[in-house]
Amino acid sequence: MKCKLCKKEARINLRSYNLKLCNACFIEFFKKRVRETTEKFKMCSLKDVICLAASGGKDSFALWDVLHKLGYETSGLFIDLGIDGYSRLCREKVVAFSQKTNLPLKIVDIKDELGYSIREVARRANKVPCSICGMVKRYIMNRETGAFDCLATGHTLDDEASVALGNILQWQTGYLERQYPVLQENQSLKKKIKPFTFTFEKEIKLYAQIAEIEYVKEKCPFSANATSLLYKKAFDILEERMPHIKLSFYKKLVKKRFFIPEEEVKLRPCRRCGYLTVDEVCNFCKLKEKLSSSSGSR
């Protein structure tokens, strides 16, 4: 098959666009999509300094790589959750990427923050690791973004479309706002940008391969039963037979802003740390309190 753009031999067939490309043209296509997304949604300018949430996986590395190549100033943030061998592996890859590209990196260790690994924190708080992890990461990322213009995360089209699907199936339509490509600054909560919201995961994987990015292929051991993966699987079955449905669903969600507001929630600063929260004290400070009172127990 031939590359649609340069007519050389094509090795890549993007079914969702019915587009065949050679490797070099694919890289340009990929970068162009990201640049157009950041521009269209006024995510960031070349004067900004972007805090990049790096996990060690393909999505955040590819994002870091492409934003850097597009000329944006970036600085990585890695949160070490202390998950057995998995977090160590992720940390090594993130450090290696930062050294190879000569891009700055900050590491926050959850053991320094809370005294325990996320597994132990969850056990002591009597919660599921994933729900605690999400809250803790959001808190730390937001705090660490203080000195930057925005926080960039590697959320993909597959992520956003499947989370939106889940929220619609449960009619938690107020949550759909969060699937927008950019979440504006709101008092102490920093602007969050998702430049990959129109990019398929399989394209990111291709990009990472061609750009020779080394990333952690294992999934987080806690994610095996995540319902988010189930929504992705259901969506993939549809996409397989109807290429483009994921993208057109998400595009229309964004374009028409089908965000049905639920009751508006008033946020106020946490009495302890100033983080915006619905209660007097935020969940992170409540967790710290719970952990310190439980520190004597086994």
Query: Which residues make up the interface to a second copy (CB under 8 A)?
Result: 165, 168-171, 173, 227, 230-231, 233-235, 237-238, 241-242, 245, 248-249, 252-253, 256, 258, 260
CB of 247 to a second copy, least distance (A): 11
Name the residue nearer to a second copy (CB basis): 96 or 226.
226
Name the residue nearer to a second copy (CB basis): 106 or 244.
244
Could you give the C-alpha distances from 118 to 125, 127, 129, 132, 240, in angstroms and in order? 10, 11, 7, 8, 36
Which amino acid type is present at position 146?
A: G
Name the residue nearer to a second copy (CB basis): 110 or 163.
163
Interatomic CA distance for residues 91 and 97, integer angstroms? 10
Name the residue nearer to a second copy (CB basis): 130 or 234.
234
- Residue 75: helix, strand or coil by DSSP? strand
CB of 243 to a second copy, least distance (A): 13
CB of 250 to a second copy, least distance (A): 10
**Do residues 179 and 160 lie in contact, with contact meaning Cβ atoms separated by under 8 Å?**
yes
Contacts of 2 (CB under 8 A, 6+ apart): 8, 9, 10, 20
CB of 141 to a second copy, least distance (A): 29
CB of 237 to a second copy, least distance (A): 5
Name the residue nearer to a second copy (CB basis): 96 or 238.
238
Name the residue nearer to a second copy (CB basis): 164 or 193.
164
Closest CA to 271 of 263, 282, 257: 282
Element of type H or E holding 53: strand 49-53
Interatomic CA distance for residues 237 and 241, integer angstroms? 7
CB of 230 to a second copy, least distance (A): 5
Backbone angles phi, psi at 59, to 5 degrees: -65, -50
